[in-house]
Amino acid sequence: MLTFKDRIILITGASRGIGRAAAIKFAEAGAAGVVINYHRSKDSAEEVAGAVERAGAKALVIQADVSRADEAVALVEKALDHFRRLDVLVANAGIWPVEDRAITDLDEAQWDETIRINVNGIYHVCRTAARIFVAQRGGNIVTISSTAGQRGEAGHADYAASKGAVISFTKSLASELGRFNVRVNSVAPGWVDTDMAASALRENEAQLKQIRDAIPLGRIATADDLAGPILFLASDLARHITGEILNVNGGSVLCG
Ligand code: NAP
């Protein structure tokens, strides 16, 4: 059955949204320790730590901007130092610039920021964790990509390109690290009701209806709807799955 007994889990961007829900679910599934990374939301990260501990796991909160190499490396190393082991990395932290911006208006500053956080951030933490996992001949990485990386997203070319990169990065690592008993998969969410999507889902009734109508299952995902698939991929139940892009979008985009 699905269990993370004795396992140590590190989740980037676990102060809110999908990362928060996954942190709590890993604890509920028996993880020994959960490392909660945050960038700016210290109070929220501490609240998540409380929930993780109430669910029976040890919690460690670490501040780090994953887009900075030094901070991302220190994050993974601190987690290892503290718990003396690391089993699962969930590379989840990311941004979605809210405003629609046509390519003709997409300035270099926005492009650079999105790529720096969504792509470089994943690269820094995955590379550092991969070194640990290769040395211990075992480990598990789950990246969080997006339907935008599969089909593109008008008005958000920077975001879609960053998530397309996450998908091909995931597949590359899966091919490379399988022989070291390291699995690498991605969860590709559609719309999820978190702070990130608030402008579309919580503040615009017409857009909410349009989005919901395009989802065959007829509802918007909650963060918890993503946590289960993340745990599945990280668990031994998925022991022969690597390089998979798992769609969690209610059926709205059907591709791998
Ligand atoms: P969210 O509610 O906005 O939470 C984002 C999390 O990422 C926060 O914990 C935030 O930390 C952290 N973060 C942002 N920049 C960071 C940085 N530079 N370093 C470290 N942490 C950073 O977003 P979410 O909806 O849970 O999104 C999680 C992932 O799912 C993202 O990769 C996103 O692209 C992807 N996704 C979301 C949706 C959606 O509809 N929500 C759809 C597809 C994919 P602080 O608050 O502490 O700063």
Q: Quick one: pLDDT at residue 134?
A: 98
Q: Quick one: pLDDT at residue 231?
A: 98
The verdict on whether 159 is a catalytic residue reads yes
- The predicted-structure confidence for 118-177, as pLDDT tens digits, reads as follows 999 999 999 999 999 999 999 999 999 999 999 999 999 999 999 999 999 999 999 999
Judge whether 52 lies within some domain. Answer: yes
pLDDT-derived band at 200, boundaries 50, 70, 90: confident
- Please tell me the distance from the alpha carbon of residue 190 to that of residue 111, in angstroms, as a whole number: 22
Do 174 and 158 contact (CB within 8 A), yes or no?
Answer: no
The DSSP-derived string for 115-140 is: HIIIIIHHHHHHHHHHHHHHHTT-EE
Do 94 and 66 contact (CB within 8 A), yes or no?
Answer: no
191 close to ligand 1 (CB < 6 Angstrom)? yes
Specify the DSSP element, H or E, that contains 69. Answer: helix 69-83
Judge whether 3 lies within some domain. Answer: no
How many structural domains is the chain composed of?
A: 1
Do 60 and 33 contact (CB within 8 A), yes or no?
Answer: yes
Residues composing the chain: 256
Q: Quick one: pLDDT at residue 203?
A: 84
Which range marks the domain in which residue 131 is found?
Answer: 8-246
The pLDDT of residue 27 is above 90: yes
The pLDDT of residue 199 is above 90: no
Report which DSSP code applies to 2: -
- Please tell me the distance from the alpha carbon of residue 73 to that of residue 127, in angstroms, as a whole number: 9
Judge whether 254 lies within some domain. Answer: no
Which among 4, 96, 159, 169 is annotated as catalytic?
159
Signed CA dihedral, 246, 56, 93, 181: sign only: negative
Q: Are strands 58-63 and 88-91 parallel, antiparallel or unpaired?
A: unpaired
What is the CATH number for 175?
3.40.50.720
- The predicted-structure confidence for 75-105, as pLDDT tens digits, reads as follows 999 999 999 999 999 999 999 999 999 999 9
- Percent of the chain residues past pLDDT 70, beyond the cut: 100
Nearest to 38, CA basis, from 76, 12, 57, 9 = 12
Judge whether 112 lies within some domain. Answer: yes
13 close to ligand 1 (CB < 6 Angstrom)? yes
Q: Quick one: pLDDT at residue 256?
A: 61
Average pLDDT over residues 174-181: 98
What's the mean pLDDT when you consider all of the chain?
97
- Please tell me the distance from the alpha carbon of residue 249 to that of residue 212, in angstroms, as a whole number: 11
Judge whether 96 lies within some domain. Answer: yes
Judge whether 186 lies within some domain. Answer: yes
34 close to ligand 1 (CB < 6 Angstrom)? no
Atom of ligand 1 nearest to the CA of 18: 26
The pLDDT of residue 207 is above 90: no
Angle between helices 157-177 and 121-135 (to 10 degrees): 10
- Please tell me the distance from the alpha carbon of residue 1 to that of residue 163, in angstroms, as a whole number: 31
Nearest to 183, CA basis, from 255, 124, 237, 254 = 237
Judge whether 251 lies within some domain. Answer: no
Judge whether 110 lies within some domain. Answer: yes
Average pLDDT over residues 7-18: 98
